[in-house]
Structure 1
Amino acid sequence: MQKIPFNKPYFTGKETEYIRQAVENEHISGDGFFTQKCHQFFQNRYSFQKCLLTTSCTDALEMSAILLNIQEGDEVIAPSYTFVSTVNAFVLRGAKIVFADTYASHPNINPDEIEALISPKTKAIIVVHYAGVACDMEKILSIAQKYNLWVVEDAAQAIDSYYKNVPLGSLGHLSAFSFHETKNIISGEGGMLVINDDKFAKRAEIIREKGTNRSAFFRGEVDKYGWVDIGSSFLPSDIIAAFLYAQLENLDNIQARRKEIWNIYYEGLYDLAQKGKIQLPYLPKYASNNAHLFYVVCESLEERSALLAQLKNQGIGAVFHYLSLHKSSFYSSRHDGRVLPHTDKFADCLLRLPFYYEITPKAQEKIIMEIRKFYNS
């Protein structure tokens, strides 16, 4: 039986050529030729004010927490249905996480939940654009403005995705992207911090360079560099940037292919959703689809477990996704006890299907057939 993996990294063919070029440039540490090319690409294509590549999206989020001066006792509002990095970055600075529920129709944070959670200690709202689908940013930004709060976009899954034709990552004060090998555009590990408020631009460079003004020194703005702030080594090697740039050059091709894959799943499973057997991804009118992933939502944990077992038995690498962070062994004792029913439903019932550039129509047909067989029996 030929197995269908959950993910397979896609290579454009230029990655090793650019890596060789980076080596021949004799600059393989951070902020080299390819790092600058990547920064320019994002700033030109999406009008991001300032971009800084990082070694991961986690690092970009940790930089955000430092830039916002998150302190012990501050509160940060965030969804519970997300990867731990979203909130861990703020917990590391001493923040208390106040978890908000999702919509019933989609795993994004429900803005109608946010206002009631704001207290005098609230400092920021963290939004996660799950599956690359935009949160309702107009509502969220309006609440943030009313209460003078910072907004951070966790755009890990949201490259080349839009809210009302405005690129995700350009709406919050700060945004974090991921180029992990499971994402649309990859560099193995890797991420990027986007700074949309000039107030943070200079300090972001310093934090990324171990708390030194090294970047300003290399631009000739100071005659020597020293330790001026807290920070860490957040910048990636130019080898990683070289790999990433080969991917960025192929962004439109990669995105077109991923949308084909997404549409095959949607059309193949649509009638099961119409019959109420499963829930398919929901796209609000204000959001675009960057085809980051495809999921189905089952009726119960037991149903999902049975479907997962059947798919695995047929060599299909489907996976369930996040567990509710408010129920985690680390944070449950710090949660305020509120029930988050929609978060828990997605944690118990959402199943992600294999999704990668080179998946064949035949493989997708088999996956769709097995899901249909499961529900028709």
Structure 2
Amino acid sequence: MIPFNKPFLVGKETLYIEAAVKSGKISGNGEFTVKCHEFFETHYSFKKALLTTSCTDALEMAAMLMDIKTGDEIIVPSYTFVSSALAFTRQGAKIVFADSREDHPGINENTIEGLITSKTKAIVVVHYAGVACDMDIIMDIANRYNIYVVEDAAQAIDSYYKGKALGSIGHFGAFSFHETKNIISGEGGLLTINDNRFLDRAEIIWEKGTNRSAFFKGEVDKYGWVDTGSSFLPSELIAAFLYAQLEHLMEIQDKRKLLWNTYANTLKELQEQNHLKLPYVPSFATNNAHMFYVITKNIEERDTLISYLKTNGVHAVFHYLSLHKSPYHINNKSPIQYLQNSDNYTDCLIRLPLFYDLEVNEVKCISNVIIDFFK
């Protein structure tokens, strides 16, 4: 069975973890945390980068920094992971769901403005599969209505919009280093802060509501509880593992892009024959090869193809369930929306295996199984 995903070691992960243990400081914000922060800020021009224990934590930090309160409205695409909405409902916000684009699972930028009210506080955009939303449209809307933009870039490490790194354009960005992502640390995340107004407060919220970071920088002679916050920073063991992966970022990306392109080349004939659709990458976006997916004509065909792949030794999976139809949303007596594109991706999208240790000949084998299915 070719698995859907397989975590990998590509560099000095275990050596750096051992070094962190021997340093005598493994509780967080040590040598490897600093190295990771410096890497992200240098390579991607984030004004501030703060490691977190998950992308969910990064989004929750963003919600705290924006002072999201009961009654505020947050625009979120329905076709996304629950954290994109959950981080803001925990602060009391009302989620207003947006539909996806017809040509891509990302948010339909042209529907956003029609969802804005006097209560709208922020737009959360999800760069699905590491492919950018049209950030010029989104930032123009945000600037005209004086609302915040949070880039949920969980899948978008090392991906760009018109030459700008994703996560560096909105007021905030959030990344994931879960074991299914391009760069991994088991669990782990990153908050990026690109607005000067939030730089200092972000460290306070990150450090349990204390000014501990300022104390260690020598900016204050003692530290205490000064704001809200939580224990968002990860241990040095997570940071050490992550830094070893970052040292091999280009190697990882090159391999994933090779696999992605192999899928695209071997399956393009099926798209030309109108059997299925392949991923679409707009001209303004780059492809970081986070995932390769296909879109079938209906849910019955999707389920049958997944079963056929499994019978032939391939573990493929469908992806998100539209959040506007989730039990939580319905149980809160929220109005049911009709979001055609989001529901179509829920019913018809299949994710194929894509991980560092996968080989080109295995990708060709998977593709041939799909070709045989349609024959």
TM-score between both structures, scaled by the size of structure 2: 0.99
Match of 2:127 among 126, 129, 132: 129
Q: Assess if the C-alpha contact under 8 Å between 1:255 and 1:291 holds in 2.
A: yes
SS of 1:281's equivalent? coil
What does residue 17 of structure 1 align with? 15
Distance (Å, rounded) in 1 between the aligned partners of 2:300 and 2:168: 40
How far apart are residue 361 of structure 1 and its match?
A: 2.0
Q: Runs of 5+ in structure 1 lacking a partner? A: none
SS of 2:303's equivalent? helix
AA partner of residue 373 (structure 1): D
Please say if 1:330 is aligned against 2:340: no
Q: Assess if the C-alpha contact under 8 Å between 1:109 and 1:135 holds in 2.
A: yes
TM-score between both structures, scaled by the size of structure 1: 0.98
Q: Assess if the C-alpha contact under 8 Å between 1:177 and 1:192 holds in 2.
A: yes
Match of 2:291 among 279, 290, 293: 293
Match of 2:214 among 213, 216, 221: 216
Please say if 1:275 is aligned against 2:273: yes
Distance (Å, rounded) in 2 between the aligned partners of 1:34 and 1:50: 16
What does residue 234 of structure 1 align with? 232
Q: Assess if the C-alpha contact under 8 Å between 2:11 and 2:248 holds in 1.
A: no
How far apart are residue 362 of structure 1 and its match?
A: 2.3
How far apart are residue 337 of structure 1 and its match?
A: 2.7
Q: Assess if the C-alpha contact under 8 Å between 2:179 and 2:186 holds in 1.
A: yes
How far apart are residue 12 of structure 1 and its match?
A: 1.3
Please say if 1:249 is aligned against 2:215: no
How far apart are residue 336 of structure 1 and its match?
A: 3.0
What does residue 318 of structure 1 align with? 316
SS of 1:78's equivalent? strand
Match of 2:256 among 255, 258, 264: 258
How far apart are residue 358 of structure 1 and its match?
A: 1.0
Distance (Å, rounded) in 2 between the aligned partners of 1:189 and 1:337: 33
Distance (Å, rounded) in 2 between the aligned partners of 1:373 and 1:314: 11
Distance (Å, rounded) in 2 between the aligned partners of 1:29 and 1:217: 17
Q: Assess if the C-alpha contact under 8 Å between 1:34 and 1:241 holds in 2.
A: yes
How far apart are residue 315 of structure 1 and its match?
A: 1.9
SS of 2:327's equivalent? coil
SS of 1:207's equivalent? helix
AA partner of residue 226 (structure 1): G
Match of 1:34 among 32, 35, 46: 32
What does residue 6 of structure 2 align with? 8
Q: Assess if the C-alpha contact under 8 Å between 2:113 and 2:141 holds in 1.
A: yes
Distance (Å, rounded) in 2 between the aligned partners of 1:243 and 1:172: 28
Distance (Å, rounded) in 1 between the aligned partners of 2:110 and 2:64: 28
SS of 1:29's equivalent? coil
What does residue 347 of structure 2 align with? 348
Distance (Å, rounded) in 2 between the aligned partners of 1:13 and 1:224: 39
Please say if 1:372 is aligned against 2:359: no
Please say if 1:339 is aligned against 2:338: yes
How far apart are residue 334 of structure 1 and its match?
A: 4.3
Distance (Å, rounded) in 2 between the aligned partners of 1:209 and 1:137: 31
Provide closer, same or farther for how the CA distance between residues 352 and 153 of structure 1 changes in structure 2, counting only shifts above 3 A. same
SS of 2:5's equivalent? coil
Distance (Å, rounded) in 1 between the aligned partners of 2:335 and 2:75: 13
What does residue 161 of structure 2 align with? 163
Please say if 1:194 is aligned against 2:192: yes
Match of 2:101 among 75, 100, 103: 103
How far apart are residue 192 of structure 1 and its match?
A: 0.4
Distance (Å, rounded) in 1 between the aligned partners of 2:337 and 2:54: 32
Match of 1:59 among 57, 60, 73: 57
Provide closer, same or farther for how the CA distance between residues 139 and 131 of structure 1 changes in structure 2, counting only shifts above 3 A. same
How far apart are residue 366 of structure 1 and its match?
A: 1.7
Identity %: 61
Distance (Å, rounded) in 2 between the aligned partners of 1:365 and 1:152: 37
Please say if 1:93 is aligned against 2:103: no
Q: Assess if the C-alpha contact under 8 Å between 2:11 and 2:245 holds in 1.
A: no
Q: Assess if the C-alpha contact under 8 Å between 1:55 and 1:189 holds in 2.
A: yes
Distance (Å, rounded) in 2 between the aligned partners of 1:56 and 1:276: 39
AA partner of residue 367 (structure 2): I
What does residue 182 of structure 2 align with? 184
Q: Assess if the C-alpha contact under 8 Å between 1:205 and 1:213 holds in 2.
A: yes
AA partner of residue 215 (structure 2): F
Q: Deviations over 1:303-347 (max 9, x none)?
A: 000000111112211000000000000003544333000000000
Distance (Å, rounded) in 1 between the aligned partners of 2:91 and 2:296: 37
Q: Assess if the C-alpha contact under 8 Å between 1:185 and 1:244 holds in 2.
A: yes
Distance (Å, rounded) in 2 between the aligned partners of 1:162 and 1:283: 12
Aligned residues: 374
Distance (Å, rounded) in 1 between the aligned partners of 2:334 and 2:252: 40
Q: Assess if the C-alpha contact under 8 Å between 1:98 and 1:335 holds in 2.
A: no
SS of 1:292's equivalent? coil
What does residue 41 of structure 2 align with? 43
AA partner of residue 47 (structure 1): S
